[in-house]
Amino acid sequence: MFSLNGSTFLNNTLTGVSKSLAQRKVSAPSVVVASVSSNGNAADRNVSVLMENTLKEMRENAPSPSQSQVTEIQPASTVGGGVEDVYGEDTATEDQYITPWTVTVASGYPLLRDPHYNKGLAFTLKERDAHFLRGLLPPVVVSQELQVKKMMASMRQYQVPLQRYMAMMDLQERNERLFYKLLIENVEELLPVVYTPTVGEACQKYGSIFRQPQGLFISLKEKGRILEVLRNWPEKKIQVIVVTDGERILGLGDLGCQGMGIPVGKLSLYSALGGIRPSACLPVTIDVGTNNEQLLNDEFYIGLRRRRATGQEYAELLDEFMNAVKQNYGEKVLIQFEDFANHNAFDLLAKYGTTHLVFNDDIQGTASVVLAGLITALNLVGGTLSDHRFLFLGAGEAGTGIAELIALEISKQTNVPVEEAREKIFLVDSKGLIVKSRVELLQHFKRPWAHEHEPVRTLLDAVKAIKPTILIGSSGAGRTFTKEVVEAMSALNEKPVILSLSNPTSQSECTAEEAYTWSEGRAVFASGSPFSPVEYNGKFYASGQANNAYIFPGFGLGLIISGAIRVHDDMLLAASEALAEQVSQENLDKGLIYPPFSNIRKISAQIAVRVAAKAYELEKVTRSLLLLSLTCRFGDSSATARAGEPRKICRKLYVQPQLPQLPLSQRQDMLSHCHFKSFLSCILCSVSYDELCV
């Protein structure tokens, strides 16, 4: 078996000693092979002999020292390992390409404590021998499939949702692979556990249930040192960051540092639903204090015990963070703002939207998923978006974000100015209907929605005055869609569209049962939190959930695969249209305006494709499609192969029996343009070609 820094790797038959090339600029890396062991199966021996013969030829034909292209990089050099993205690209320049040689393989007890590589009882007997695990595990080998079955049986025994949440977090901290397999295969059942509504309660009690950090905590104490803090994170190839300051966690208010549960939950969905590597995801909490007196007096609170910073002090910390992220991870890293208060959320999006790849899920993600539901609902109620009148309860991030995206879609469909499209949309806040007479006292993000209309104080009066066909709640104020409001909507419309979007369940404007009962079963209903099916007059109604998880994993994946550097509103519209297209006629017949979550990975892939295509259309990308197509072709030995799929190329060149007959020069050239770590994986892993290149 192959020795890497004194450890072993699976059951491969090649042994050797590594020599560090991490600080070298490499054209054709040299390899030192100590010996080839005689044990192992025939296929492994063939690969080993082939590897040895190839390396022997390379040594015999190696250029003289004067011809060598290998040069030492000075310690003061600024060239680092770089940030590899999904295409294998690196932030190092083309002529300073780094091919790391030193590979660390965990073994023994530390391997069982490493959540990224631990497989628990799924380690085979050969793997236990190779990794010095004999005696550290019970003798039985349990497949991952059986472990999933066991975990689900255990999860279903818990009666309290928070207990299920803690069990899932415990699993993620010790066996990441099993965690994601469990979540992917049982997404409809476990999504409410790892995210809304249970994550809200988890954040409220985060200090009491805190075990170990799952992300970066950046506080005012780190001001001036944020770049250093980012470099403390062990993973260097970050593609997605979800960051919160904890001021407006769901509908629960200021939870300060305890809002970390939100970025952790969001990023677990980026991986489970969007397929983004967990190691490429970074949860961050910006701790600037809290105004929550209960937390400040809580002995278990884990954040700064001070009032929340505002103004210049707050702005300077956020600015340092944004600049440090760009400096450390590059321009293509996606930064998702999560659960910031209204006044900061809009300002941050406006300030950094032109300089960074930023996305606010509360404003843009919610808007996109709601627009998708409305596009689908038109199949049930008839007409186009421009034929309807919209009334919102709530004029914060979600309400104004949804309203603006609806206006943009109407403008796009009818070729009218967006200002004219806004005239069909009315918003109600805590002081009543937003009208022109209030404009001087309104926050800047509410002013576009101040229409010429007499003042209206209550939601019920607004329904009677505006006569909306679609009622949308995003206030987080609890049961505000009263029986009188729903009955008024039903009197105005044969099929009233009612969206109760506030999270968690306790803050929802109304329940599914209330909506269907008070509308006599005529409502087209969806909610932000999940509700059980409702029986009314002998008929069952299954309500849809307008969950942002439909959008943000696929949206983020689309940005990453296209190499996008900015987010554009048209990308959000493309995501909405892609999601709406996934609703089948069978779903519509049941009154559903969203597809089942059981297909969420396929849905996310469809959204990613549409978002990436729109990014290319808008020229908001850094990657050439032509170059990308060239990198995926076998046989290209130019530098373009480096950004492609080196594992596939290496596997074809060195393992498939007909290809090793290629001239040494061609094999040597192909090797020099591959990540050497990937090359090792291809030569040494005893997995099939298809498994290797997934």
- Give 631: exposed, middle or buried? Use CB within 10 Å, 0-12, 13-18, 19+: buried
Q: Is the same domain home to 402 and 512?
A: yes
Domain identity same for 492 and 596: yes
Please list, residue by residue across 94-123, b when 16 or more beta carbons sit within 10 angstroms of its beta carbon and e when fewer do: eeebbbbbebebebeeebbeebeebbebbb
pLDDT tens across 277-303, in order?
Answer: 999 999 999 999 999 999 999 999 999
Provide the sign of the torsion angle of the four alpha carbons 552, 267, 472, 447, taken in this order: negative
What is the mean predicted confidence (pLDDT) over 313-319? 97
pLDDT for the residue 598: 87
Give the bridge partners for 92, in sequence order. none
* Out of 132-136, 461-465, 665-669, least confident range: 665-669
Q: What percent of the chain has pLDDT over 90?
A: 65
pLDDT at 1: 36
Instruction: Show the tokens assigned to 467.
Output: 């006569």
Assign 390 to helix, strand or coil: strand
In 513-663, the DSSP E strands lie at: 524-527, 534-536, 539-541, 544-545
State the DSSP H helix or E strand holding residue 612, giving kind and residue range, or none if neither.
helix 600-617
Quick one: pLDDT band at residue 56, thresholds 50, 70, 90? low
- Same structural domain for residues 408 and 498? yes
- Residue numbers of the domain that contains 300: 145-356
State pLDDT tens for residues 176-229.
Answer: 999 999 999 999 999 999 998 899 999 999 999 998 889 999 999 999 999 999
588 and 649 belong to one structural domain: no
Domain-terminating residue out of 323, 356, 389: 356
Catalytically annotated residue among 87, 97, 165, 195: 195
Q: What is the pLDDT of residue 61?
A: 56
- The CATH number of the domain holding residue 293 is 3.40.50.10380
The percent of the chain in helix, strand and coil, each rounded to the nearest 5, is 50, 10, 40
Alpha-carbon distance 554 to 541, whole Å?
A: 28
**Which of 1-5, 99-103, 128-132, 371-375 is the most confident on average?**
371-375
Q: How far apart are CA 477 and CA 222, in angstroms?
A: 35
- Please identify which residue in the block is written with the tokens 């999601």: 579
The residue among 623, 640, 658 that closes a domain is: 623
The mean pLDDT of 223-247, rounded to a whole number, is: 96
| Same-domain check for residues 381 and 489 | yes
- 474 shares its domain with 398: yes
Q: What's 566's domain CATH number?
A: 3.40.50.720
Whether residue 284 sits in one domain with residue 393: no
CA–CA distance from 506 to each of 197, 248, 252, 316, 518 (Å)?
Answer: 9, 16, 10, 36, 19
Q: Is 165 a catalytic residue?
A: no
Output the pTM of the full model. Answer: 0.76
* Residue at which a domain ends, from 623, 655, 676: 623
Q: How far apart are CA 364 and CA 337, in angstroms?
A: 10
Residues 331, 395, single domain; the answer is: no
Indicate whether 115 and 40 sit together in one domain.
no
3-state secondary structure 172-202: HHHCHHHHHHHHHHCHHHHHHHHCCCHHHHH
In three state form, how does the secondary structure of 126-174 look? HHHHHCCCCCCCCCCCCCHHHHHHHHHHHHCCCCCHHHHHHHHHHHHHH
- Which residue out of 119, 266, 446, 652 is catalytically annotated? 266
Average pLDDT over residues 68-83: 34
Amino acid, res. 492: L
Task: Count how many domains the chain has.
Answer: 4
Work out whether the CA dihedral 150, 156, 160, 161 comes out positive or negative. Answer: positive
Amino acid 505: pLDDT: 83
Residues 547, 640 within the same domain: no
Same domain, 221 and 346: yes
Residues 529-588 pLDDT 10s: 888 899 999 898 988 899 999 999 999 999 999 999 999 999 999 999 999 999 999 999
Indicate whether 231 and 179 sit together in one domain: yes
**How far apart are alpha carbons 680 and 593 in whole angstroms?**
48
pLDDT at 592 over 90: yes
Q: Average pLDDT in the 55-84 region?
A: 41
Between CA 479 and CA 483 the distance in angstroms is 10
Confidence of residue 315 (pLDDT cuts 50, 70, 90): very high
Q: What pLDDT digit, counting tens, does each position of 360-407 carry?
A: 999 999 999 999 999 999 999 999 999 999 999 999 989 999 999 999
In this predicted structure, what is the pLDDT of residue 669? 42
